[in-house]
């Protein structure tokens, strides 16, 4: 732990420098995550006729702008890095470094968060100016929102790391992640508010991890969660993070042994 604390700031600085060097590519990638804005236009048009499940145009604006902010600052791309590095043999060079590759990947992805936050900031300002009446007014809730976002980012990174590690075993690890993204879009609240789901499907969404990546953060920002709900979300995030960490460690160790056995 002492060694990690000593080297991680340096890894973050290197990652931030890399993000700046490829800022145009990063900007293009972030601009592709604009589906909430498209959904906002669609549902606002529908809501002009009549509210949908209690959502009028102002509620949709608050919801999808909040969704866009959370999506921007909780995203990662490690799964594509890992799969490319395994296929092209770059992973062999990473394994020779004195730093664990997953630590390196985490620093690269985490260091880009400030740049993504800069893009999210104008959206957040518009949200506060236009829809402050539909946001939470509880200071405790807002104090918890950054922590919920951090937990969502950690879960996203660990899931991506698990899928990226599958590249040691199969050629189509990216297809596995596409399946994950499809489920995420539905059950996180990214496409439509979870309040639109029938009761039985909301129960399913509460059991699955996707809501913890985006849905609870948006609900907290909109004042839809009680303090007890927030505490439960923290507990569930902690359990998922611990389980995903164990899973990625086991899968990574098995994958590296297989990679070395085949001369990667």
Beta-carbon neighbour count of residue 144 at 10 Å? 21
Residue 247 to residue 219: CA distance in whole angstroms = 29
> DSSP letter at 188?
S
3-class SS of residue 89: coil
Provide mean pLDDT across the span 44-72.
88
Q: Of all helices (H) and strands (E), which one includes residue 11?
A: helix 2-21
Residue 197 to residue 216: CA distance in whole angstroms = 15
Q: What share of the chain is helix, strand, coil (3-state, %, to 5)?
A: 80, 0, 20
Query: Is the confidence at residue 212, as pLDDT, over 90?
Result: yes
Query: Is the confidence at residue 208, as pLDDT, over 90?
Result: yes
- More confident call, 52 vs 151: 151
- pLDDT for the residue 23: 58
Segment 12-55, tens digit of pLDDT: 777 777 666 665 556 666 666 677 878 888 888 888 888 888 88
Query: Is the confidence at residue 209, as pLDDT, over 90?
Result: yes
Cα–Cα nearest to 75, from 190, 176, 227: 190
Segment 75-99, tens digit of pLDDT: 888 898 899 898 888 898 888 888 8
- pLDDT for the residue 25: 59
Residue 128 to residue 134: CA distance in whole angstroms = 9
- pLDDT for the residue 243: 97
How sure is the predictor about 126, in pLDDT bands with cuts at 50, 70 and 90?
A: confident
Contact 134, 58 (CB under 8 A): yes
Provide mean pLDDT across the span 150-178.
91
Which residues fall within 8 angstroms of residue 133, CB to CB, at 6 or more apart?
58
Residue 79 to residue 174: CA distance in whole angstroms = 8
Cα–Cα nearest to 158, from 36, 241, 229: 241
- pLDDT for the residue 38: 82
Average pLDDT, the chain: 86
- pLDDT for the residue 127: 79
- pLDDT for the residue 111: 85
* Lowest-confidence pick of 101-110, 140-149, 203-212, 246-255: 101-110
- pLDDT for the residue 130: 79
Cα–Cα nearest to 189, from 219, 166, 215, 163: 215
Which residues fall within 8 angstroms of residue 105, CB to CB, at 6 or more apart?
78, 81, 82, 161
What is the model's pTM? 0.89
Contact 168, 86 (CB under 8 A): yes
Provide mean pLDDT across the span 96-103.
86
> DSSP letter at 194?
G
């Amino acid at each position: 732990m002492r060694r990690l604390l000593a080297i991680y700031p340096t890894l973050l600085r290197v990652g931030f420098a890399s993000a700046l060097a490829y800022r145009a590519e990063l900007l293009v990638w972030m601009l592709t995550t604009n589906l909430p804005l498209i959904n906002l236009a669609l549902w606002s048009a529908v809501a002009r006729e009549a509210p949908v499940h209690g959502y009028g145009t102002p509620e949709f604006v608050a919801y999808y702008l909040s969704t866009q902010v959370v999506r921007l600052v909780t995203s990662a791309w490690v799964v594509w890095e890992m799969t490319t590095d395994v296929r092209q043999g770059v992973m062999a060079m990473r394994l020779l470094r004195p730093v664990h590759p997953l630590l390196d990947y985490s620093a690269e992805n985490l260091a880009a968060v400030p740049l993504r936050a800069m893009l999210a900031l104008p959206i957040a300002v518009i949200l506060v100016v236009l829809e402050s009446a539909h946001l939470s007014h509880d200071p405790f809730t807002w104090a918890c929102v950054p922590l919920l976002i951090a937990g969502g980012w950690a879960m996203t990174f660990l899931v991506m790391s698990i899928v990226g590690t599958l590249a040691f075993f199969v050629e189509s690890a990216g297809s596995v992640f596409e399946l994950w993204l499809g489920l995420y879009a539905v059950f996180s609240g990214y496409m439509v508010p979870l309040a639109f789901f029938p009761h039985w499907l909301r129960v399913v969404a509460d059991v699955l991890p996707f809501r913890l990546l985006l849905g609870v953060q948006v609900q907290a920002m909109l004042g839809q969660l009680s303090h007890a709900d927030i505490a439960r979300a923290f507990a569930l995030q902690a359990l998922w993070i611990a389980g995903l960490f164990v899973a990625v460690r086991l899968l990574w160790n098995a994958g590296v042994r297989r990679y070395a056995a085949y001369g990667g």
